[in-house]
Amino acid sequence: MTQRAEDYYVSLGMPKLPESYWQKTQFIKPRDRDVVCHASAWDMTMDGDVRTKMCIKPNEEEFTTIYHELGHIYYYLAYNNQPPLFQTGAHDGFHEAIGDTIVLGMTPKYLESIGLVNAQQQTNEALINAQMRMALAKVSFLPFGLMIDRWRWGVFDGSIKPDSYNKAWWELKAKYQGVAPVTARGEEFFDAGAKYHVPGNTPYTRYFLSHILQFQFYKSLCDAAGHKGPLYECSFYGNKEAGQKYWAMLGKGSSQPWQKTMKELTGGEKMDASAVLEYFAPLQTWLKQQNEGQSCGWQAAAAPAKG
């Protein structure tokens, strides 16, 4: 599975992974000890000793996870020639977007080319189903990704006090996501702590940013590959022009303002969601038809107080 993921990057003209990667990486769960199986990617020496840590199972989710993790690995390898200070992403969102851009390129046509699916003539129903599934992962995540750090920042700047941690959490959930607990949740609960990144003090905006960036990167690589037709059909597998453009961006690390790095790949200095809208255009058209005459959305009310 990992070799297949490597093949996508190599098909773009990127180097093969170093032999040390295959010798030192944890691919499956060891039998003799407990390990943290949460997938992660590492640059041990800032000089090519790259590794991933996973407990891979042969299923679709873990297959795409490997493509994502190798995005980190190839970012490490690309900017290894930079001074240590610049060996990081252009901004927090870049690192998380690199591999996900490749995942967007795992179209039915690509999956058929590697023998995983039989991509017959796609019906409109199948397209809408696929787009809905993708949107539930990519679009629905955006308000959640934003509210996590809205809460964290409120705690840090003192606007969210310790005696209202849970109240503020559910107010933000209502405002951004339109969800509420079934029953009132008082301050004896710490629901924010159920999200790993909160007690782990891991910034979360990087994931929100990456979900915008990956579609911009994807569109830019599709343009570089000369893709014609709907954006969601684009796979740049095997296209050296797209790969060269991507590799050049990765090699910059954080050695220049992220806006300049962004412009060199996308032609613009701003993040925007136009590529997201273009990608999901068929789904948006379908949703407008389904919701015609209905009032959609919500009014965010404060979370109910307990007692």
Residue 303 pLDDT > 60:
no
- pLDDT bin (cut points 50, 70, 90) of residue 118 is confident
Candidates 5, 69, 75, 218; catalytic one: 69
Under 8 Å between Cβ of 108 and 117: yes
What phi and psi values does residue 100 have, to the nearest 5 degrees?
Answer: -65, -30
Under 8 Å between Cβ of 252 and 264: yes
d(CA 67, CA 79): 19
Has 68 been annotated as catalytic?
A: yes
Q: How does the average pLDDT of the chain come out, rounded? A: 94
Residue 301 pLDDT > 70:
no
Has 264 been annotated as catalytic?
A: no
Residue 291 burial (C-beta neighbours within 10 Å; 0-12, 13-18, 19+) = exposed
Has 69 been annotated as catalytic?
A: yes
**Which tokens belong to 231?**
């954006």
Candidates 19, 38, 125, 292; catalytic one: 38
Q: What percent of the chain has a predicted confidence (pLDDT) above 90? A: 90
Candidates 5, 41, 67, 68; catalytic one: 68
Candidates 96, 225, 237, 242; catalytic one: 96
Has 95 been annotated as catalytic?
A: no
Q: How do the domains of the chain map onto residue ranges?
A: 124-307
Candidates 130, 135, 176, 197; catalytic one: 197
Most confident of 112-121, 129-138, 293-302: 129-138
Amino acid (one-letter) located at 69: E
pLDDT in tens, 247-283: 999 999 999 999 999 999 999 999 999 999 999 999 9
d(CA 242, CA 123): 29
Has 91 been annotated as catalytic?
A: no
Nearest residue to 238 (alpha-carbon basis) of 76, 114, 108:
114
pLDDT in tens, 187-239: 999 999 999 899 999 999 999 999 999 999 999 999 999 999 999 999 999 99
Q: What is the pLDDT of residue 123?
A: 87
pLDDT in tens, 23-44: 999 999 999 999 989 899 999 9
Residue 304 pLDDT > 70:
no
Q: What is the pLDDT of residue 307?
A: 42
Mean pLDDT of 39-55: 95
